[in-house]
A and B are shown apart, each in its own frame.
Chain A
Amino acid sequence: MATQEVILHPASVVAELKKNNISHVVWLPDSETNFLFQLLNNEPTLDLVPVCREGETMAIAAGLWVGGKRPVVLIQNTGIFEAGDSIRGLGLDINQPLVMLVGYRGWSRHGLTRDSAARFIEHILHAWGINYYLIETDDDADRISLAIEEAERTSKPVAVLVGTEFGS
C-alpha cells in the first residue's frame, strides 16, 4: 500500500499556536488532522472546542474573540464550503481577525487534481478576498505566525491551507 511521506508534524503546528498565545482551537476533525487532535488533547494551554458542523466554528470564535480570547479554527476545505454564510456574516462583515487552518483535501503537486474540494477552494477564498498561506512541511509552519500577524493587522480572516497530511 502506498503511503504518503510525512513531512509536516503536528508538533510544529502546535508550537506555532503556543508561540502566538492561541487560547482555543475550534474544530471539526478531518482525515488530515487526527494526530494533531491527539497532541492538542494533551496540550493544557489550548482548549479544544469541537463542533457538529463547520459553520459553527466562526461564530464560536467570534464569541471567544469578543470575550478576550485568541481562537483559531481548524476544519477541512469541505467545511469552508459549508460555512460560507458564517465566514461572510461573522468573519468578514465584523472584521474578525480569525485564522482558519484548513485541511487541503485533494491537494497534490503531482498529476491531476481530481477532488473538487481541492479544485474549488482557492477560487472561493479569492472570491471572498481572503488571503491564504500554504503549508506542506515543518519548514512552512512559521507561516501560521505570518497568518496570525496578518489577520490582526488587517482585521480580516486569513486561511492557512494544510497541504499534506500530518504525521505522528
Chain B
Amino acid sequence: MIDNSDAVKLLDSKRDNAVFVATMNANNVHFGLPTVTSNEKLDFPISGAMSKASDVALGLALAQPDRKILCLDGDGSLLMNLGAMVTISNKAPKNLVHVLFNNKVYAVTGGQPIPGGEQVDWEDMAKSAGYARVFSFDNLEDMTNGIDEALAAEGPVFIHLLITPQIENTPVQFRTPAKRTVHTAIADLPETLGVKR
C-alpha cells in the first residue's frame, strides 16, 4: 500500500503546470495535497458535491485542451458516480488523468468499509469503461518507477493507487478548515489559466 502523503507528494513533484482537481483524502488538510502542493494557484479542491470531482475535471480538460488536468479522486466518491468513467472515456480528452486513491473505506466519516471494497477491480473497470491507458500501483517504489510513463501517456488515463487508509472521525463542522477552498479556486483559477471573460 502507498501512504496518502507520499502519493500526493510524488504526483505534485511531477505536475509541471497541471491543474489538480482534488477531493476527499487526496485533498486532506493534514495529509493530502494542501500539505505538499508546489503550485497552490493551480489546485482546484472540490467539496460540497461528493463524487463530482471527475466531472469537474472533465469540463476543465475540455475547456483547456493544451493543459494537463489531474483529478485526484476517492474510491467511495467514484462509486457514487461510476457513470462518470464512461462520460469521460466517451469525450476522450487527451489531457485528462484520473487518479483514484483507493483506500477501501469512507475515510472521512470514520472508516466504514465501502461496498465491494474487496472485490471491485478498478483496473478492469477503467479498461472496460474505455480509458485510453490504465495503470495500477500498490507500492511507492512501483509508483515512483512508473509514474512518468503514466503521466506522459495520451489520455484519458486512469491511475489506480492502493492507499493506506487514514481515518477521520471529526464531524465536518469541527475540522480544520482548508486554506484553499473551491471558492478560492473559482475566484482565482480562471485568471491563472489566462481566461478572459
Contacts and interface: CB of A to CB of B under 8 A. Distances in A.
B183 interface: yes
A71 to B, nearest CB: 7
B55 A63 contact: yes
Interface residues of A, number: 31
Given A63-B61, A66-B60, A94-B182, A86 B83 contact: no
A45 to B, nearest CB: 15
A52 B52 CA distance: 13
A88 B62 CA distance: 23
A66 B42 CA distance: 12
Contacts of B53: 59
A62 interface: yes
A46 B55 CA distance: 19
A66 B55 contact: no
Contacts, number: 112
Main SS class of interface, B? helix
A95 B63 contact: no
Contact of A59 (B59, B63, B64, B196): B59
Contacts of B58: 49, 60, 63
B87 A62 contact: no
B184 to A, nearest CB: 11
A63 B59 CA distance: 4
Nearest to B186: A94
Nearest to A97: B197
B190 A50 contact: no
Contacts of A63: 21, 55-63
A59 B56 contact: yes
A56 B193 contact: no
Interface in B34-80: 44, 46-50, 52-53, 55-64
Interface string A132-147: 0000000000000000
Interface string B180-196: 00110110011001011
A132 to B, nearest CB: 21
Interface of B: 21, 44, 46-50, 52-53, 55-64, 81, 83-84, 86-87, 90-91, 182-183, 185-186, 189-190, 193, 195-197
Given A67-B193, A94-B186, 14 more contacts: A47-B62, A49-B58, A51-B83, A52-B83, A52-B84, A56-B84, A59-B59, A63-B57, A64-B63, A66-B195, A68-B190, A68-B195, A68-B197, A89-B48
Interface of A: 24, 26, 47, 49-53, 55-56, 58-69, 71, 85-86, 88-90, 93-95
